[in-house]
């Protein structure tokens, strides 16, 4: 019975990739897959807002992307969800020190004063957020071989 209660390997409890469609729930469930797809929607909203020249609102979409994916990777590594980007940055530095945490902190800092942001500034920050998204997707996929995030990061490149 114990072999049935465990997922691939014996180190972690059974996990299901949550795609938002009522999959069977296991003992624990990591939300990072769903977070990546929600972040993809935020990217679409951001791009539409840029087209409408609503740069402040588009910057808020970048904040939402960072919040979703930062919390997702933190939870994947045993951390917790935070709504404040600065608290999330501190947690990521503790859980995964290095480029991913450093780039998150830089992007969060750039967005901390995004009131009346220009189109050029927003484009630079958006490129940074998109590049970070690709790196986090690769990292998350390495951590959980069941994750397939190809559709969630389609069209993005480093």
pTM higher than 0.85? no
Would you say 68 and 42 are in contact if contact means Cβ atoms under 8 Å apart?
yes
Percent helix / strand / coil, the chain, rounded to 5: 60, 0, 40
User: Residue 13, SS3?
Assistant: strand
pLDDT of residue 10: 44
Single out the residue of 119, 92, 113 nearest to residue 103, CA to CA: 92
pLDDT of residue 8: 46
For the chain, 158 residues long, give each residue's pLDDT as a single digit of tens. 455 544 444 445 555 555 554 455 443 445 788 999 999 999 999 999 999 999 999 999 999 999 999 999 999 898 988 889 999 999 999 999 899 999 999 999 999 877 788 999 999 999 999 999 999 999 999 988 888 888 888 888 75
Residue found by looking up tokens 């990777």 in the block? 73
């Amino acid at each position: 019975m114990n072999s049935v209660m465990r997922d691939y390997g014996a180190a972690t409890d059974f996990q299901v990739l949550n795609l938002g469609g009522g999959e069977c729930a296991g003992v624990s469930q990591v939300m990072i897959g769903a977070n990546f797809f929600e972040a993809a929607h935020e990217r679409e909203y951001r791009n539409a807002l840029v087209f409408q020249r609503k740069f402040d609102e588009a910057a808020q979409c970048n904040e939402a992307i960072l919040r979703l994916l930062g919390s997702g990777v933190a939870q994947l590594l045993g951390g917790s969800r935070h709504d404040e980007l600065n608290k999330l940055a501190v947690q990521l530095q503790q859980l995964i020190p290095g480029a991913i945490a450093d780039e998150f902190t830089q992007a969060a800092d750039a967005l901390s004063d995004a009131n009346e942001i220009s189109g050029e500034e927003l484009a630079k920050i958006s490129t940074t957020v998109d590049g970070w998204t690709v790196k986090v997707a690769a990292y998350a996929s390495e951590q959980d071989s069941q994750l397939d995030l190809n559709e969630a990061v389609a069209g993005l490149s480093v």
